[in-house]
Structure 1
Amino acid sequence: MMNNLYPIKFYPILKDKIWGGQKLKTLLNKNSDLPNIGESWEISDVEGDTSIVSNGSLKGQTLKELLATFKSDLLGLQNYKIFKDKFPLLIKFIDAKEDLSIQLHPNDELAAKRHNSFGKTEMWYVFQADIGSNLIVGFNQDMTPKKYLKHLENKTLTEILNFDKVKEGDTYFIEVGRVHAIGAGVMVAEIQQTSDITYRVYDWDRVDADGNERELHNDLAIDAIDFNMPDNFRVTYNKTENQSNEMVSCPYFTTNYLKVNKSIHKENNHDSFIIYMCVDGEGEIKANGFSEVIKKGETILLPAAIKAYEIVSKEATLLEVYL
């Protein structure tokens, strides 16, 4: 089966969001007539939103079909034992024209019990930010459930939230149970567990075209918030060129920063697929006799069976993701 495998691209799944804008179209060349494109799901195995291959001999097949056919050749042996025919990560680009809702995600245990789903540990890499824009991550003071609920009730939640001014390259690790939101004017690459479970706690009192407020999930959220988390969400990392620099390593994924300005040979020693998200420039990935160009705003999946490959670029900034 190995011979059929090559660097795989998928058609992006674009999501219209009340807070979305047009940057995914104008800056990342996503083709859409949607008025407010909030998210581009680059690789997804979420029920009802399964990615479809856009290149090569497997074009037109779904990610589900690939998993059924290639199994551990796609995922890696250990990953296949754990996840079987489910792809463990959801890969996105997000454009927030307006502030997203204040939200959080449940852990694996709560998500399994309540929603028959994985939890949603995630990370953000900021690859464009308007001047003065913020991310909201965690609280700006010690917090208790009682104090939190009082502010929620009084609609003064923003007084206790931590606002971080951000710029390109800033990276955040968002663990389950941490209150967070992407602020207006920020574009991020988001890497997360395959889960679409979000508990919304405050949505800036905004209404949709029909005058309805979006649903909040405060009853579910109060048990899911971790009020004792340390402020360890900002990620520091090296930017040594032409080699992988670790940004985040957690039980659910590892993400590296890789800036390429020549031809580099890479080995896959991880017993895992490898995903490349291009956040700047463009390059070419050569593997198994195949060659695929990757441009800013594009994502490529290298199946686990591909053990050696080459990345060629005059200048490309890539996020390298595996399990």
Structure 2
Amino acid sequence: MAKLYPFKFKTIFKDKIWGGEKIRTYLGKDFSPLPNCGETWEISGVKSDVSVVKNGELEGQSLATLLETYKEELVGKAVYERFGNEFPLLIKFIDANDDLSIQVHPDDELARKRHNSFGKTEMWYVIEADPGATLISGFNQPVDEAKYLEKFNSGRLTDILNKETAEAGDVFFLPAGRVHTIGKGLLIAEIQQTSDITYRIYDFDRVDDKGNKRELHTEEALAAIDYNFYDQYKSPYDKKKNEPVEVVTCPYFTTNILDFSQSVSRDYSSHDSFVIHVCVQGSYTLNYGDEKLNVHMGDCILLPATIEKVSLETSSGFKILESYI
């Protein structure tokens, strides 16, 4: 078998009614066949859209094939024992040229019961934001199902939703069950469980090019929603330079922000997990053993668990989201 190395994958482009141009103009990804590219899936084990390697000796192999072939060498012993041949994370970029639908995702228990699937806990990192751009995360007051339905049925659901102004560098952690939407003018990196289950609550009465409204999942959402009110929805963190900063840790992934103006070495030998780099700014050369890989803004790299030490060499600086299980 070929020796494992850091993988880049072919981008999977998704046309969305609310999509725009920033994936092309800001991240430099060409989606010319699509009129409105709202999402790219960069690393995916979702069965309908499995990523395919685009670099090195294993070019053309699917992520599913890599996992079946290399098992714990790819993802780590503990991760493989927990997830088997299902890759546990999905990495996306999202460009909202209009508000996305208000939605919610089920947790593991509900998703397993209804869909034989993982639930969907996720996080957002805001890469770029138009002035005044907003998003919705959770409720702005204590709510129960009865109050939710009263507002929903009267067409005033947004009265009880928590709207936040979002700026570049902001992080939002969204556990399964949290009502949310990404607002117009935001370019976001999303790290989430491997799941494509979304319950659409409200879509602003939009229609597609055939005049049809998108399907809503009103009843399904009721059992999925976390009706609790929380004091804080934006994830606070110290925006430090030249040292890793942990921004999210949960049972499904840990994510650090590395905002560096200088080269740095990383030791992953204690993790027993694959590591993913999502480059959201700048560029660097990833050195592993005697090999090198050039990484630029918009690149997402999967480091197999067998690669324990790397160095990130830069002259101009970089910012990455570094995630592992």
TM range, normalised to the smaller chain? Answer: over 0.9
1:84 counterpart letter in structure 2: G
Farther-moved stretch of structure 1 (232-241 vs 148-157): 232-241
- The secondary structure found in structure 2 opposite 1:278 is strand
Farther-moved stretch of structure 1 (109-118 vs 155-164): 155-164
Other-structure match for 1:305: 306
Distance 1:13 1:200 in 2: 22
Establish whether residue 55 from structure 1 lines up as the match of residue 51 from structure 2: no
Distance 1:243 1:286 in 2: 19
Establish whether residue 270 from structure 1 lines up as the match of residue 271 from structure 2: yes
Other-structure match for 2:208: 208
2:299 counterpart letter in structure 1: E
Distance 1:259 1:58 in 2: 30
For the Cα contact (< 8 Å) 1:102–1:181, is it kept in 2? yes
For the Cα contact (< 8 Å) 2:142–2:229, is it kept in 1? no
Other-structure match for 1:64: 64
Other-structure match for 2:139: 139
Distance 1:133 1:307 in 2: 39
Farther-moved stretch of structure 1 (197-206 vs 306-315): 306-315
Establish whether residue 190 from structure 1 lines up as the match of residue 183 from structure 2: no
- The secondary structure found in structure 1 opposite 2:314 is strand
TM-score norm. by structure 1 comes to: 0.97
Establish whether residue 319 from structure 1 lines up as the match of residue 317 from structure 2: no
Establish whether residue 88 from structure 1 lines up as the match of residue 88 from structure 2: yes
- The secondary structure found in structure 1 opposite 2:213 is coil
The answer for unaligned runs of 5 or more in structure 1 is: none
For the aligned residue pairs, the C-alpha RMSD in angstroms reads 1.1
Distance 2:238 2:165 in 1: 21
| Offset of residue 260 of structure 1 | 2.1
Farther-moved stretch of structure 1 (224-233 vs 114-123): 224-233
| Offset of residue 104 of structure 1 | 0.6
Other-structure match for 2:11: 12
2:283 counterpart letter in structure 1: E
1:122 counterpart letter in structure 2: E
For the Cα contact (< 8 Å) 1:7–1:290, is it kept in 2? no
Q: Deviation per CA, 1:212-231, whole angstroms, max 9, x where unpaired?
A: 10000011101111112423
For the Cα contact (< 8 Å) 2:141–2:229, is it kept in 1? no
For the Cα contact (< 8 Å) 1:239–1:258, is it kept in 2? no
Q: What is the 5 A alignment of 1:281-296?
A: 281-296=282-297
Q: Deviation per CA, 1:167-203, whole angstroms, max 9, x where unpaired?
A: 1001000011110000000011000000000010000
Q: What is the 5 A alignment of 1:165-244?
A: 165-244=165-244
Distance 1:55 1:24 in 2: 21
Distance 2:52 2:151 in 1: 44
- The secondary structure found in structure 2 opposite 1:224 is coil
Other-structure match for 1:27: 26
Farther-moved stretch of structure 1 (180-189 vs 280-289): 280-289
Farther-moved stretch of structure 1 (232-241 vs 304-313): 232-241
Other-structure match for 1:124: 124
Q: Deviation per CA, 1:267-297, whole angstroms, max 9, x where unpaired?
A: 1120000000011111111113221111111
Over the matched positions of the two proteins, sequence identity in percent amounts to 52
For the Cα contact (< 8 Å) 1:241–1:260, is it kept in 2? yes
- The secondary structure found in structure 2 opposite 1:181 is strand
| Offset of residue 298 of structure 1 | 1.0
Q: Deviation per CA, 1:116-172, whole angstroms, max 9, x where unpaired?
A: 100000000001000011010111121121111111112111111111011100100
For the Cα contact (< 8 Å) 1:276–1:318, is it kept in 2? yes
2:35 counterpart letter in structure 1: P
- The secondary structure found in structure 1 opposite 2:112 is helix
Distance 1:11 1:225 in 2: 34
Distance 1:275 1:295 in 2: 14
Aligned residue-pair number: 322
For the Cα contact (< 8 Å) 2:123–2:172, is it kept in 1? yes
For the Cα contact (< 8 Å) 1:139–1:160, is it kept in 2? yes
1:147 counterpart letter in structure 2: K
Other-structure match for 1:252: 252
Distance 1:310 1:146 in 2: 54
Q: Deviation per CA, 1:96-124, whole angstroms, max 9, x where unpaired?
A: 00000000100000000000100000000
Q: Deviation per CA, 1:212-258, whole angstroms, max 9, x where unpaired?
A: 10000011101111112423421112233332210000000000010
The answer for unaligned runs of 5 or more in structure 2 is: none
For the Cα contact (< 8 Å) 1:273–1:322, is it kept in 2? yes
TM-score norm. by structure 2 comes to: 0.97
